[in-house]
Structure 1
């Protein structure tokens, strides 16, 4: 999976998507429900790092594969939606780009 530009992008999408879900559904409830703000501090910082790496993966895949603009824009947009990366991955698997 990590041998191709799309494979690297898909992996980073998975990692970034999981980190967003952990931030929203575990760290935020810990902060506001149990008064443990350190959870958001730690998970938020990790999510930020993964988000930056995800953006680099988008740029790399876009340059390497000559992606259409819709894929790059979609990849950035779904990063802000819970489960969005997994939905994009589903559509990406059905596209000709996955056969890089």
Structure 2
């Protein structure tokens, strides 16, 4: 795995946790708050924040797919995890493993190039 691929995986990991927490933390909290009080003005900004995080996640997932040449099943799996509350946390755990494997490969290839 080259450095650009490892970087793309790292960027996806960085956005997966905020995206995973934005649905339950922002939208459910905002929905409950608007039902028990007269604070309805919070729903639009909270929804926009969640939507922006989701779009960034989807774009970064497409970037990782382009660089890693993953099968469509794996990409669809990570996309479905983004649709589930807290699903991105599980996705982050898997991405961490992929990133660690990739970092090891990049490090090994640099060491091989230095010794040659």
If the TM-score is normalised by the length of the shorter chain, which range does it land in? 0.7 to 0.9
Instruction: Give the conservation status (yes or no) of the 8 Å contact 1:22–1:43.
Output: no
Check if 1:56 corresponds to 2:96.
Answer: no
Match of 2:26 among 14, 23, 27: 23
1:68 match: 71
Unaligned runs of at least 5 residues, structure 2: 1-5, 103-116
| Structure with max Cα Rg | 2
TM-score, normalised relative to structure 1? 0.84
Cα RMSD (Å): 1.6
TM-score, normalised relative to structure 2? 0.73
Higher helix share: 2
Unaligned runs of at least 5 residues, structure 1: none
* Higher relative contact order (CA closer than 8 Å, sequence separation 6+): 2
**Distance across 2 between alignment mates of 1:63 and 1:83:** 25
Query: How many residues of Structure 1 are paired with residues of Structure 2 in the alignment?
Result: 96
Residue 19 of structure 1 and its aligned partner are, at CA, apart by 1.4
Residue 71 of structure 1 and its aligned partner are, at CA, apart by 2.1
1:81 match: 84
